[in-house]
């Protein structure tokens, strides 16, 4: 599953995964609420979740603006996964080195590693101009399979 609210980033990640792992079945969610609900109800269908850290509260639609942006929504989803003892592995994929609340990615990585070690595999710094993220993602996936 990919949890990502940035359409361009989602398309690049999805395109890469479909090219490198053609047999993969991808589900995508674009908000905190839709991802949290899907994971709670169908977690057993997912071996891996690629999780954005900052996202909208609700899916954006003609009737819905997406609600307030949540800078650490991914952390809250990871916490729910951990507390429900869901065995699915999680890789955080972010474009930010610093978050709105002042948290730095290295600090967040350490916090997630210590707090949710059974699920959290690490983070990938995504860039539209540099493909290092794809190599790191491939490495993570190979280690998990």
DSSP H stretches of helix in the chain = 7-20, 32-42, 73-83, 105-115, 132-144
The per-residue pLDDT for range 111-145, each reduced to its tens digit, is 999 999 999 999 999 999 999 999 999 999 999 98
The per-residue pLDDT for range 59-96, each reduced to its tens digit, is 766 666 667 778 899 999 999 999 999 999 999 999 98
- Worst-scoring range by mean pLDDT, 50-59, 63-72, 101-110? 63-72
Contact (CB, 8 A) for 4 and 28 = yes
108: containing domain? 2-144
**pTM higher than 0.85:** yes
Which residues 6+ apart lie within 8 Å of 101 measured at CB?
71, 72
- Extract the tokens encoding 8: 């361009």
Structurally, how many domains does the chain consist of?
A: 1
**CA 10 to chain CA centroid, nearest Å:** 10
SS3 108: helix
Q: What is the CATH number of the domain that holds 65?
A: 3.40.50.2300
Which residues 6+ apart lie within 8 Å of 89 measured at CB?
47, 48, 49, 119, 121, 144
């Amino acid at each position: 599953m990919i949890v990502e609210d940035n359409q361009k980033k989602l398309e690049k990640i999805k395109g890469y995964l479909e090219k490198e792992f053609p047999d993969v079945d991808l589900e995508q969610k674009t908000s905190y609420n839709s991802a949290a609900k899907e994971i709670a109800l169908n977690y057993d269908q997912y071996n891996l979740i690629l999780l954005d850290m900052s996202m909208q509260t609700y899916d954006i639609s003609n009737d819905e603006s997406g609600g307030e942006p949540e800078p650490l929504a991914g952390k809250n989803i990871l916490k729910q996964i951990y507390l429900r003892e869901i065995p699915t592995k999680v890789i955080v994929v972010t474009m930010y080195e610093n978050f709105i609340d002042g948290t730095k990615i290295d600090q967040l990585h350490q916090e997630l590693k210590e707090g949710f070690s059974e699920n959290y595999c690490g983070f990938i710094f995504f860039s539209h101009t540099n493909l290092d993220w794809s190599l790191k993602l491939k490495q993570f996936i190979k280690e998990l399979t």
